[in-house]
Chains A and B, each alone.
Chain A
Amino acid sequence: MNAIQIRTMAKDFILKEFLPGERPENLTDSTELITDGILDSLATLKLVAYLEKSCGIEIAPDELVPENLNSIAQIANFVQSKQAST
């Protein structure tokens, strides 16, 4: 799975689950998901569950940090690095 595919997948999921009715262009690769409150604690866990299942990765407790999940770009980088290490 390349970075573009991961970004598209993550964006679609976030729009569908957490931003119903939002215009897709308003969610950019750099939109701050956690610090802007788009992802609360439960939403973050839901996103992580989705990434683990869809991308075949396992996210360790200390990897669940804003540095890895605070934007679609960061999510794509993180998922790619996880895939590369497995």
Chain B
Amino acid sequence: MDFALNEEQRILRGQILRFAQDKLNKDVRQRDRDQVFQRELWGACAQMGLTGLPVPQAYGGPGLDSLSTAVAIDALGYGCEDSGLVFSICAHLLACVVPIWKFGTEEQKNRYLPGLCDGTLIAANAMSEPESGSDAFAMQTRAEPHGDGFLINGTKTFVSNGPVADVAVVFAVTDRAKGYFGGITSFLVDRALPGYLVAQKFEKMGLRTSPIGELVFEDVFVSKNAVLGGVGGGSRLFAHSMDWERACLFASHIGTMERLLEKAVAYTRTRRQSGQAISKHQAVAHKIADMKMQVEAARLLVYKAAWGLERSQSVSLDAAVSKLFVSESLVRTTLDVVQVFGGYGFLSEFDVERAVRDAIGSKLYSGTSEIQRNIIAGWLGL
């Protein structure tokens, strides 16, 4: 067992880190305030290969292995202070690009992956509905056979990238009697199709630069070639996407935690109270020691889960453990950073209050903390 990054991974990490620090952080406070998603930044990330990390070069991606993908996303989270942008890229990559690459037909891969990798196309995963969140398979959206394809009707909510996406991976009931396995199908639905409606864009507590909203499908006709992963294969495809998302999206939070840890160390070593640096107060130092412990443990969990994505064994348990630990560590870390910054941490100009707002969602998306505990318990046979 080797815990060190290899030479290629070290170079990759350094390149992404420098790129993110140089190109992605300008005006981030203002962008957050105005809830601005910048397509130019998306394009810059695509040029770095970030929008298609594990996709083979034949389809326009850099072709990284899954562990290197996590290393790259970790570096992005460290270097980029715009967590909304990082979240949007990860949602596009892990819940849309990866399933197309893994389960798409050759025609689908050739049609979508080059554009999704080079930044000309943005993708969204449309699963949640107004009446089905954690109970995702209680969905009402249906796809009924029609001519040489299907007619899709329904409303999807909490669609990350929904307001700006060019194509959506949409999950719909095709056979309610079969239930979640066999009864749900995923479709690649182009924004340009008649009946594809971009509804409200949500105003959010955090991740404000990531556009999230509702999509409505009114008699949207898709050909049978739009089926992704076969009719009835939607549930397995979704579970696979969640494994990738839980393993790799949360790598970005390791980078965020490490950046905040360094920020807290630097601040507390120079900020003086009662005649000494506040880092000399154990109450402060212990919080920072806990941050270090959490980021180290989180990195091991994430890298193990990401490594497992390319092994024959299911990674669902590791991904759930990792997702749960990382998201809860992230929230704890951001709150502790505000605490050690004191009143200044409460001010927008110190940026750590934004980190708290951006962190809270991590305990909700990709399955809530409660769902992760259910999954872990299930794998333990409870």
With A43-B378, A45-B316, A53-B312 given, is the CB distance from A61 to B180 under 8 Å? no
Are B137 and A65 in contact, with the CB atoms below 8 A? no
Q: Which residues of A contact B (CB under 8 A)?
A: 16-18, 20, 34, 41-46, 48-49, 52-53, 59-67, 69
Closest chain B residue to A49, Cβ basis: B314
Name the A residues within 8 Å of B235 (CB-CB).
41, 61, 64
State A65–B185 Cα separation when bound (angstroms).
12
Which of A18, A41, A46 is within 8 Å of B180, CB to CB?
A: A41
With A53-B313, A61-B103, A65-B182 given, is the CB distance from A46 to B378 under 8 Å? yes
Which of A42, A43, A48, A61 is within 8 Å of B234, CB to CB?
A: A61
Q: Can you identify 10 A-B contacts, CB atoms within 8 angstroms?
A: A34-B181, A41-B180, A42-B374, A52-B312, A60-B233, A61-B237, A62-B230, A62-B236, A65-B178, A65-B181
Which of A16, A45, A64 is within 8 Å of B233, CB to CB?
A: A64
Total count of chain B residues near the partner, CB < 8 A? 27
B49 contacts A by Cβ under 8 Å:
no
A-side interface mostly: helix
B171-211 residues with Cβ-Cβ distance < 8 A to A are: 178-182
Are B378 and A42 in contact, with the CB atoms below 8 A? yes
State A42–B236 Cα separation when bound (angstroms).
11
With A46-B379, A61-B236, A61-B237 given, is the CB distance from A66 to B316 under 8 Å? no
Closest 9 interchain pairs by CB?
A: A62-B230, A61-B233, A49-B314, A65-B182, A62-B233, A61-B236, A61-B229, A42-B378, A64-B236
Name the B residues within 8 Å of A59 (CB-CB).
236
With A49-B313, A49-B316, A53-B312 given, is the CB distance from A61 to B240 under 8 Å? yes
